[in-house]
Structure 1
């Protein structure tokens, strides 16, 4: 009998599946409705939406919503002179409860290309002591839609890719898919994807 996948809720258990899940991602043109991402399942039902600064009117701020439009994650990049001089640019992702208070869910460190090169993008689940596998990093090239999110033991938890026939006809990489492994929180994965889209000058960025 196959071992049951361990569930790792980060945003919520409802976003964890007991089997592999493949979701399609479509980028929205910046000129239409402010850009962003639309994530659909195999039946073309919208599962997540990502709103970027074209919609929100705020640079370095993103929102991940579920298919019904409910906000799941508010994502912000820290700014200021400290960031400009730091090795990393930091992104913080928060959930908001019914009382309106925010809780830090995960942080992402983007290497500052002016200071350091070839360092991987790293993700940390907060608070670290409550999560056995709290650190992840990006392997491969997101701009080419050919990368993976791996945990601290080197296990792939999600893969970004494109069908071979799409690679030949769509140089803009507007359509791609994300395979999420069993037990992994899909909302967390697409919070990370939202930031990667912004970092690599995707449609979430103005």
Structure 2
């Protein structure tokens, strides 16, 4: 297993590929909620960002199955590059972020750059189109550490809607960190992309 730094929680670093199912749960509410299950149907992560006690829409908390706050992602304003920051646990005033995410370019479609601010100072890049649930997270050596894909129903072989998709975690990569990046991508990209399978490409013409 490739040795990668633990960024959020060691409990979510695995020795083999981990296939997770991500479901948006707030289709009939204001805001975005998520539940994340492993291949055995066990709940791993959840996000509740709707209801009377909802936080600012620019701040989202990732929790484990028991409701422990693992990570807070927050949009940094003002920011031309749609910069988001990640904080360990439930963010407090004055707390320093452990990573940030930004678009590689403010012009046209582009990849995302993830800079880890704690310990290792590693950098990751996200390429593809999250709006179409088709993108990959690469480390600095251009090796894939996580993938987001459309989910196929195993019994019917039918591709499911975009509100249910797969997150594949490679061995050694922090799954809680990966899910935090999914939350950021969902907020940055949402479903604003066309249904055409257009990739994020830093060299593409607008």
Per the normalisation by structure 2, the TM-score is 0.79
Question: What CA distance in whole angstroms lies between the structure 1 residues aligned with 2:95 and 2:147?
Answer: 29
> CA-atom RMSD, angstroms?
2.6
C-alpha contact (below 8 Å) 1:50/1:194 kept by paired residues: no
Question: What CA distance in whole angstroms lies between the structure 2 residues aligned with 1:26 and 1:164?
Answer: 13
Question: 1:66 — aligned with what?
Answer: 64
The structure with the largest helix share of the pair is 1
Question: What CA distance in whole angstroms lies between the structure 1 residues aligned with 2:50 and 2:82?
Answer: 18
Write the deviation string for residues 23-54 of structure 1: whole angstroms up to 9, x where unpaired: 11111134248431110011211100123366
Question: 1:144 — aligned with what?
Answer: 132
Secondary structure in structure 2 of the residue aligned to 1:196: helix
* Structure 2: gaps spanning 5 or more residues: 192-206
Instruction: Find the partner of 1:122 among 113, 125, 135.
Output: 113
Write the deviation string for residues 68-99 of structure 1: whole angstroms up to 9, x where unpaired: 1111111111113xx2xx3x1211110148x9
Question: What CA distance in whole angstroms lies between the structure 2 residues aligned with 1:119 and 1:35?
Answer: 24
The structure with the largest strand share of the pair is 1
Quote how far apart the aligned CAs of 1:148 are: 0.5
Quote how far apart the aligned CAs of 1:167 are: 9.0
Q: Call closer, same or farther: CA 1:33–1:69 in 2, change over 3 Å.
A: farther
Question: 2:98 — aligned with what?
Answer: 105
Quote how far apart the aligned CAs of 1:139 are: 1.2
* Structure 1: gaps spanning 5 or more residues: none
Question: What CA distance in whole angstroms lies between the structure 1 residues aligned with 2:67 and 2:163?
Answer: 22
Question: What CA distance in whole angstroms lies between the structure 2 residues aligned with 1:32 and 1:167?
Answer: 30
Write the deviation string for residues 149-204 of structure 1: whole angstroms up to 9, x where unpaired: 0111110000111245589564x4111111100010000000000111112236xx
Question: 2:28 — aligned with what?
Answer: 31
Per the normalisation by structure 1, the TM-score is 0.79
